[in-house]
């Protein structure tokens, strides 16, 4: 698979996932697209509710969907918003992406076509994970 094409496909999928965002409180729609090691793309959007604190980010929705479908290995994730400054994953999502996906590539994009590549280990240095429990 040509990597630049898969990047475009992930961004397009994440961008389309924003349409389903349940973001009545923040009005900030986020879309995510997670690429599994078998080449499948699982998308997610942010889901808010009246308690605010039980909001689930788009990244975690995509990750929970993928895990509950039996996927266990992942290559990269794309995150798309319409913010002029690209939206990085929040701390909670960085932790969960690290634990379930490892040092994956994080592709950030916005609706004007701005794109950046990041590596999760750079966004989450010195992480706590299962190895810390031994």
Site residues (CB under 6 A) for ligand THU? 23, 26, 28, 30, 46, 48, 55, 57-59, 79, 87, 89-90, 93
Task: List the catalytic residues.
Answer: 59
CB closer to ligand THU, 38 vs 111: 111
Q: How far is the CB of 85 from ligand THU (least distance, A)?
A: 12
CB closer to ligand THU, 70 vs 82: 82
| Cβ-proximal residues to 123 (8 Å cutoff; 6+ apart), any chain | 88, 89, 94, 106
Q: How far is the CB of 15 from ligand THU (least distance, A)?
A: 14
CB closer to ligand THU, 55 vs 111: 55
Q: How far is the CB of 78 from ligand THU (least distance, A)?
A: 11
């Amino acid at each position: 698979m040509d990597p630049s094409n898969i990047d475009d496909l992930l961004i397009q999928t994440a961008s389309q996932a924003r349409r389903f965002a349940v973001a009545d409180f923040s009005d900030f729609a986020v879309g995510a697209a997670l690429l599994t090691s078998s080449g499948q793309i699982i998308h997610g959007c942010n889901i808010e509710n009246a308690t605010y604190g039980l909001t689930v980010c788009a990244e975690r929705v995509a990750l929970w969907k993928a895990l509950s479908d039996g996927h266990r290995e992942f290559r990269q994730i794309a995150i798309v918003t319409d913010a002029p400054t690209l939206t990085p994953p929040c701390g909670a999502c960085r932790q969960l992406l690290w634990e379930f996906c490892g040092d994956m590539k994080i592709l950030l994009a916005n609706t004007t076509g701005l794109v950046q590549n990041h590596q999760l280990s750079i966004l989450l240095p010195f992480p706590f994970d299962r190895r810390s429990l031994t």
